[in-house]
Chain A
Amino acid sequence: MPTPHSPLPASNTRPRLTVAVTGLNATDSPGPGVAVIRALRESTDFDLRIIGLSYEALEPGIYLRELVDKSYQLPYPAAGTAALLARLAHIREREEVAVLIPNFDAELFNFIKLEPELRALGIHTFLPTLAQLDARDKLNLAAFGAAHGFSTPASRPLHSAFEITTAAETLGWPLVLKGRYYDAAVVHSLAQAEQAFARLSGLWGMPLIAQQFVAGQEINIAGLGDGHGRALSAVPMRKLTITDRGKAWAGITLEDEALLALARRFAEATRWRGGFELELIRTATNELVILEINPRFPAWIYLTAAAGQNQPAALLRLALALPVPMMEGYAVGKMFVRYAWDLITDHTEFQQVAALGEL
Chain B
Amino acid sequence: MKLKPNIATSEAGFIFNPATGDSFAANPLAADILARAKAGLDAAAIKAGILECYDVAPGQLEKDWDDLLAQLRDFNLLVEAGSEERGAGNKK
Contacts and interface: CB of A to CB of B under 8 A. Distances in A.
Contacts, number: 46
A330 B89 CA distance: 11
Contact of A329 (B6, B18, B86, B90): B90
B57 interface: no
A143 interface: no
B8 A255 contact: no
Nearest to A329: B92
Contacts of A308: 92
B87 A329 contact: no
B91 A329 contact: yes
A260 interface: yes
B19 to A, nearest CB: 5
Interface majority SS (helix, strand, loop, mixed), chain B? loop
Interface of A: 217, 238, 240, 252, 254-260, 308, 328-333
B90 A333 contact: no
Interface string B68-92: 0000000000000000001111111
Contacts of A252: 21
28 contacts: A217-B20, A217-B21, A238-B21, A240-B21, A252-B21, A254-B18, A254-B19, A254-B20, A255-B6, A255-B18, A255-B90, A256-B20, A256-B86, A257-B86, A257-B87, A257-B90, A258-B87, A259-B87, A260-B87, A308-B92, A328-B90, A329-B91, A329-B92, A331-B92, A332-B90, A332-B92, A333-B16, A333-B18
Contacts of A258: 86-87
Interface string B30-66: 0000000000000000000000000000000000000
Contacts of A331: 92
Please indicate which of the listed interface residues B16, B86, B87, B88 has the most CB atoms of chain A within 10 Å of its own CB: B87
A225 B6 CA distance: 28
Nearest to A309: B92
A217 B20 CA distance: 9
Interface residues of B, number: 14
Nearest to A308: B92
A217 B19 CA distance: 12
Contacts of B91: 255, 329, 332
Given A256-B86, A257-B86, A257-B90, 6 more contacts: A240-B21, A254-B19, A332-B18, A332-B90, A332-B92, A333-B8
Contacts of B86: 256-258
Please indicate which of the listed interface residues B86, B87, B90, B91 has the most CB atoms of chain A within 10 Å of its own CB: B90
Contact of A238 (B20, B88, B89, B90): B20
B21 A330 contact: no
A257 B92 contact: no
A132 to B, nearest CB: 26
Interface string B1-36: 000001010000000101111000000000000000
Contacts of A254: 18-21
Nearest to B91: A332
A252 B21 CA distance: 6
Contact of B90 (A217, A240, A330): A330
B4 to A, nearest CB: 11
